[in-house]
Amino acid sequence: MQSLVIYLLTISNDVLYIEINGLKPVKIIGRYKGALDEIAIWECERTGDRLYREGEIFQSQSSATGESRLPYVKMMEGFLNDAKSVLVLGCGGGNLATMLTRSGKDVIVVDCNPISFDLAREFFGMPKGIPCVIDDFQRYLTAERRHFDGIAVDVGGPGFCYEEQFSPATCRSIVNRLNSDGRVILNMLAGSDCDAAPDKIGRDLSADRLSVWIFDQPSLSNRNVLIAGLSKTRRTANKQQISSLRRTDGERWTLRRPRHPSHADRPITINIHGATNRPRHREN
């Protein structure tokens, strides 16, 4: 999930002449009734890239064959490169699950919205053989007894409060589903620099077995933040892994450890609709 800037220019039949992260024009190739809101699948006429929009939320942007165009998804894939078994919480267009499966990993995807699985297969190339579980991610974590080499978390939506959803108990459930040297990476949206949720979730994930780093984009509103956790038993390997991950898209991310709370920290509920931030790029 990512907050994107949309500039509406004009509409003609099913072609929307807009700019979304540089893509234009974009036409609608499918409309569906989702569990939470209307779902539209859009395709860029020039590149063939596809976008999955649910209500006001863009869940995915990828090629028609499922290769994600979003930097944070590529970073999540790179972070899980050494994992053989991966649990993916949150489907959307299924891009991360697709990319991990094509690299030879055993993947299970969990999402509470069953139509996401169908759309991921039909429009985004997600292999039909990937096991898909219809369930709330918190309930699934509590009931599941298997362990995984890696866990990727990318859930959320309008009115979603990460600090409430990822309570200390939920963070413990995530860590408990990891093998002894397993790793976890979580994507979330931070409302502002005052949003305390990334640091709180990072501290809760690191409470027992994990060393945790936060990849942030300071000064941007409604921005993607990655929380990465690795086993504390592999300190030297951890530093190399985090250094490699930072180089994946180093120009827009800063790296830090979870901070301790201050009097200014407060939970923030993300409202993606109307977000105006654009990813920063260096001038060549």
Average pLDDT over residues 244-248: 71
Sheet (strand 26-33) strand order: 6-12, 15-20, 26-33, 38-44, 50-54, 57-62
CA-to-CA distance for 84 and 146, rounded, in angstroms?
14
pLDDT digits (tens, 9 = 90+) for 60-73: 999 989 999 999 99
For the CA atoms of 239, 241, 247, 250, what is the dihedral angle to 10 degrees? -70
Query: Taking 70 as the threshold, does the pLDDT of residue 188 lie above it?
Result: yes
Q: What is the mean pLDDT of residues 49-66?
A: 88
Least confident of 19-23, 164-168, 245-249: 19-23
SS3 100: helix
pLDDT of residue 208: 76
**175, amino acid identity:** V
Sign of CA dihedral 253, 98, 79, 184: positive
- Rounded mean pLDDT of 49-77? 90
Tokens 């020039």 sit on residue: 46
pLDDT digits over 143-182, tens only? Answer: 999 999 999 999 986 677 899 999 999 999 999 999 999 9
Give the separation between CA 273 and CA 190, rounded to whole angstroms: 14
DSSP designation for 66? S
- Quote the CA–CA distance of 55 and 34 in Å, as a whole number: 9
> Of 1, 6, 158, which is closest to residue 94 (Cα–Cα)?
1
Q: Are 176 and 144 in contact (CB under 8 A)?
A: no
- pLDDT of amino acid 251: 59
Which residues does residue 20 pair with via DSSP β-bridges, in sequence order?
Answer: 6, 23
